[in-house]
């Protein structure tokens, strides 16, 4: 069910590695739990984060949820399309609903993340 080309955090974020950077988003499980997403607060380009720090927030009709950095790094790009269409996260959480791209500070942190099978087990699916 979950794409096998990325890694997952216990906080329900995914990261898709491309050389020394990674695209980050929330999982289908997370978007389903949140319900209809109405607003996304994305990080600023250039801002640096440590693994586990809050990157931004996602607001749905049910709740506001924090987005955590699955690895440390600096923001290279954000998905500006989400400012006008945050519901894309509900429609395509593992594709067009990506949130930001980080230049990874320490690739060793990737070993702390789960593969798709382990994440599916965590999410109870």
75 in any annotated domain:
yes
Measured between alpha carbons, how far is 68 from 80 in angstroms, rounded to an integer?
Answer: 18
Does a structural domain hold residue 15? yes
Q: Is residue 121 part of a domain?
A: no
Please, are residues 31 and 93 in contact by the beta-carbon 8 Å criterion?
yes
Residue 58 covered by a domain: yes
- DSSP helix/strand/coil, 61: coil
Q: What is the pLDDT of residue 125?
A: 74
The CATH number of whichever domain residue 31 belongs to comes to 2.40.50.100
The structural domain count of the chain equals 1
Residue 1 has what pLDDT? 81
Whether residue 78 contacts residue 42, with contact meaning beta carbons closer than 8 Å, is answered with yes
Specify the DSSP class assigned to residue 114.
Answer: B
Neighbours of 108 (CB within 10 A): 9
Three-state DSSP at 112 gives helix
Per residue in 37-51, pLDDT (tens digit) is: 999 999 999 999 999
pLDDT tens for 63-101 read 999 999 999 999 999 999 999 999 999 999 999 999 999
Span 9-59, pLDDT tens digits? 999 999 999 999 999 999 999 999 999 999 999 999 999 999 999 999 999
Range of the domain at 40: 7-105
pTM for the whole thing? 0.95
DSSP 6: S
What percentage of residues in the chain have a pLDDT greater than 90? 97
């Amino acid at each position: 069910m979950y794409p096998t080309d990325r890694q997952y955090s216990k906080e329900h974020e995914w990261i898709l590695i491309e050389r020394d950077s990674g695209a980050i988003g929330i999982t289908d499980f997370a978007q389903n739990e949140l319900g209809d997403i109405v607003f996304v607060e994305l990080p600023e380009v250039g801002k640096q984060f440590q693994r586990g720090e809050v990157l931004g927030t996602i607001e749905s009709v049910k709740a506001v949820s924090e987005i955590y950095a699955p690895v440390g790094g600096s923001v290279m790009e954000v998905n500006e399309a989400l400012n006008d269409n945050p519901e894309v996260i509900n429609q395509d959480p593992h594709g067009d609903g990506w949130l930001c791209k980080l230049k990874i500070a320490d690739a060793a942190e990737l070993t702390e993340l789960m593969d798709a099978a382990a994440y599916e087990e965590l999410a109870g699916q």
